[in-house]
Amino acid sequence: MDDPTTLVSTDWLAAHMRDPDLRIIDASWYMASEGRDPKAEYDAAHIPGARFFDIDEISDARSSLPHMAPSTEKFMSRMRAMGVGDGHQVVVYDGEGVFSAPRVWWLFRLMGQMNVAVLDGGLKKWVAEGRAVEDLPPVIRDRHMMVRFQNQMVKDATQVAAASKLGTPQIVDARSAERFAGSAPEPREGLRAGHIPGSRNVPFKNLLNDDGTMKEPDALKAAFVDAGVDMDKPVITSCGSGITACILSLALERIGKNDHSVYDGSWTEWGAVPSMPIETGEA
């Protein structure tokens, strides 16, 4: 089920490594509590030719919220500096399997670039299979990128509040069941516990296999349906800070549902504003 616009296997990437217009991106990112340095790990070992995408730096520096989507100008500038542009087939991976790479997949699509896929299983699977890694910096050649911002793919708090009241689009939360229910504390200080009223819960781990790869489309669809998501209605995905919501968006795209968007501020924004209503308990 390799699809160069959503998800490709390690076998697919290995077969296309020498394609002149292939660009590989390491988009590893971790919670601060893990104490990991994704750039240092990239410098030590990455898939040959990969560029490093700094999710926190390639973001909207004017926002107080973490790693919000950057302006089109900043995205174009950073991609040109990385040698990524029009006509390239992009494959994004991360060190966990399928975790932060879908965020960068979504950012490319937000900017109108559709020839981008996530590497299923990521660096962990690539290394487990004994495939090559290197510590060399890539050779960069400038490439222009034309950006066409897709407004319908991102939602703000006002739009999400309206969806919460009206029941459409549906809001689907990727956080764990415990965080969604408000029975577990939030990892970021100052946030209330609970969820956006009316939202559904599809923990992102429910979409993944034990080896970090994404489940087959039938199982992905079942996860949403079992959570009470109406597949005939549009969806807004949400999470803690806009990272794992994009795993849900990738899964929806994999099952042919393309009327989805991401609440970029997610619970980091909603949970910090006292005037925003919250619910606790299961959906």
Exactly one of 55, 110, 239, 247 is catalytic; which is it?
239
Position 68 confidence tier, pLDDT thresholds 50, 70, 90: very high
Helix (H) or strand (E) holding 157: helix 157-166
- pLDDT tens, residue by residue, 152-205: 999 999 999 999 999 999 999 999 999 999 999 898 888 999 999 999 999 999
Q: Is 116 helix (H, G, I), strand (E, B) or coil?
A: strand
Given pLDDT bands bounded at 50, 70 and 90, which one contains residue 142?
Answer: confident
Residue 24: strand pairing partners = 91
Helix, strand or coil, per DSSP, at residue 94? coil
Percent of the chain's residues with pLDDT above 70: 100
Active site residue 246: no
Average of pLDDT values for 211-229?
Answer: 98
> CA 240 to CA 176: how far, in whole Å?
10
Tokens of 250: 């990738």
Cα–Cα distance for residue pair 281/181, rounded to 1 Å:
4
Does residue 91 carry a pLDDT above 80?
A: yes
CATH assignment of 152-270? 3.40.250.10
Q: Among candidates 132, 128, 117, 103, which has minimal Cα distance to 29? A: 103
For residue 105, what are the contacts with CB-CB under 8 A and spacing of at least 6? 6, 92, 116, 117, 118, 246, 250
CB 87 within 8 A of CB 113: no
pLDDT at 118 exceeding the cut of 80? yes
Are 204 and 238 spatial neighbours (Cβ–Cβ below 8 Å)?
no
Q: What is the pLDDT of residue 254?
A: 98
Instruction: Indicate the CATH number of 7-149 among 3.40.250.10, 3.40.50.280, 3.30.420.40, 3.40.50.11890.
Output: 3.40.250.10
Separation in Å, CA 213 to CA 59, 98, 217: 27, 6, 12
Q: How large is the average pLDDT for residues 272-282?
A: 93
Q: Which spans in the chain are helix H?
A: 10-16, 38-44, 72-81, 101-110, 122-128, 157-166, 177-181, 217-226, 245-254, 266-270
Q: Which whole number is the average pLDDT over 93-102?
A: 98
Phi and psi at 26, nearest 5°, equal: -90, 115
Please report, for the chain, the start and end positions of each structural domain, with discontinuous segments joined by +: 7-149, 152-270
Above 90 in pLDDT, residue 98? Answer: yes
In angstroms, the CA 95 to CA 3 distance is 21
Q: Closest by alpha carbon to 204, among 171, 174, 178? A: 174
Q: For residue 194, give both structure tokens.
A: 């609970």
Q: What is the pLDDT of residues 41-62, one digit of tens each?
A: 999 999 999 999 999 999 999 9
pLDDT at res. 44: 98
pTM: 0.97
Backbone φ and ψ of 25, nearest 5°: -125, 130
> What is residue 222's predicted lDDT score, i.e. its pLDDT?
98
* pLDDT for residue 189: 85
Rounded mean pLDDT of 135-141? 93
DSSP 49: T
Say yes or no to pLDDT of 32 above 90: no
From 53, 283, 35, 38, select the one nearest 174 (Cα to Cα): 283
Give me the pLDDT at residue 282, please: 84
Which pLDDT does position 53 carry in this prediction?
A: 98
Note whether 7-149 and 152-270 share their fold.
Answer: yes
